[in-house]
Structure 1
């Protein structure tokens, strides 16, 4: 195989997939923060007063 064929068959699709993954990840975080607002640390861990902590 020549170097051009190897580049077009393996390197270019791999780079495009990596770039697409990064762009989609950044876009998902941006849209989540824009439409849902930032997640507070208290919401992420559950509130002490309103959450069910003991399930016995």
Structure 2
């Protein structure tokens, strides 16, 4: 499995926000486990305009 750096993780969160899929569907579309995506949310905040730089 690919190791994402911080910038890539933030970009995934931004993409999730703009695509409009469920977390499960988005995670499957980018090839990461749902639990991993939830870990990104915990680490960087829920993707809204105020929590992602």
Same fold (TM > 0.5): no
Larger radius of gyration: 1
TM-score normalized with structure 1 length: 0.28
Task: Specify which structure has the higher proportion of helix.
Answer: 1
Which structure exhibits the higher relative contact order, with contacts defined as CA atoms closer than 8 Å and separated by 6 or more residues?
A: 2
TM-score normalized with structure 2 length: 0.30
